[in-house]
Amino acid sequence: MTHSTFPPTILDLADVTFRRDGKQILHGVSFTVARGEHWVMLGPNGAGKSTILGFCGAVTHPTTGTVDVLGHQLGRVELQALRRRIGHVNPRHPLRSPLTVTEVVLTGITGSIETPMRWRPTPAELARARELISLLGLDGKAEDIWPTLSQGERGRTLIARALVADPALLLLDEPSTGLDVAAREQLLDTIDLLTRTHPDLTSVLVTHHLEELPETTTHALLLSGGRIVEAGPTSEVLTSEHVTATFDHPIEVEYRDGRWIARTAKTRATQRRG
């Protein structure tokens, strides 16, 4: 599948429910993600974000309703082939071996955590990995081993790993986990860069924090108690009213210089005392 043949609709969830161990996790979730859009899923712990991300990654099937990923309905498509078109960035990457940055990136081609025995990259695959390592600012780290990398360097390595197989869809599962402020900003700059270097790429990012949204985020889905509170363009969805309802706490939302800020809304009485 070339970029020109990426389907116009990347994700389509229609009236999706999900039950696990007799408990209802999702209730009638519906939304559509078009090619080139960059979504964020926001909500408190237990809202159902990870479950929806599992649908997006073709690793979880709904109890009822339909999930279409890259134009294919889950349950009617060969999953391994579909998953090869999806890049997944998880900061809790369970690697234990001392692989180099280059070797970690190349595991994105094999879809494995470790380098498979007797597998060798082609010259083109190796060149692609090196190109991404350079693009993401890791040139001097290409032969450094995983245990010695900072959390920020690991994050950028995992983005390169997710991109090396040229996916149509990029999933970012709380990518700022464990990062200090400087490393977080570097990572967000890296994600923003992808809209220029990979203009057809579609992304879905999961986070708890509005401050962790890349500037290039186009759409937002607010989730609470397994139900969608709001979904659509960020300017319409990320309002104080909607975020307050999502987190069941009075929150003021502000948009400034391309970034979102959230803080507890102060009552007038509190402001007078202050």
Listed by start position, the domains of the chain span 3-85+167-273, 95-166
**Are 147 and 100 contacting, i.e. CB atoms less than 8 angstroms apart?**
no
What pLDDT score was predicted for residue 76?
87
In 3D, which of 74, 44, 57 has the Cα closest to residue 202?
Answer: 57
In 3D, which of 198, 204, 215 has the Cα closest to residue 260?
Answer: 215
3-state secondary structure of 191: helix
pTM of the complete model beyond 0.75: yes
What pLDDT score was predicted for residue 267?
57
DSSP 252: E
Nearest-angstrom CA–CA distance, 120 and 142: 17
Nearest-angstrom CA–CA distance, 265 and 244: 9
Q: Which residue has the tokens 């759409």?
A: 219
What pLDDT score was predicted for residue 269?
38
* Token output for 177: 């986990």
Which residues, at least 6 apart from 118, have a Cβ–Cβ distance to it below 8 Å? Answer: none
Describe the chain by its helix, strand, coil percentages, rounded to 5: 35, 30, 35
Which residues, at least 6 apart from 116, have a Cβ–Cβ distance to it below 8 Å? Answer: 110
Nearest-angstrom CA–CA distance, 118 and 50: 34
**Are 183 and 152 contacting, i.e. CB atoms less than 8 angstroms apart?**
yes
- Specify the CATH architecture of the domain 3-85+167-273: 3-Layer(aba) Sandwich (3.40)
Q: Which residues of the chain have pLDDT under 70?
A: 1-5, 267-274
Q: At what angle do helices 181-197 and 151-163 cross, to 10 degrees?
A: 20
What pLDDT score was predicted for residue 176?
87
**Are 106 and 128 contacting, i.e. CB atoms less than 8 angstroms apart?**
no
**Are 69 and 55 contacting, i.e. CB atoms less than 8 angstroms apart?**
yes
In 3D, which of 60, 72, 68 has the Cα closest to residue 1?
Answer: 72
What pLDDT score was predicted for residue 270?
47
Nearest-angstrom CA–CA distance, 70 and 129: 24
Pairing of strands 259-264, 251-256: antiparallel
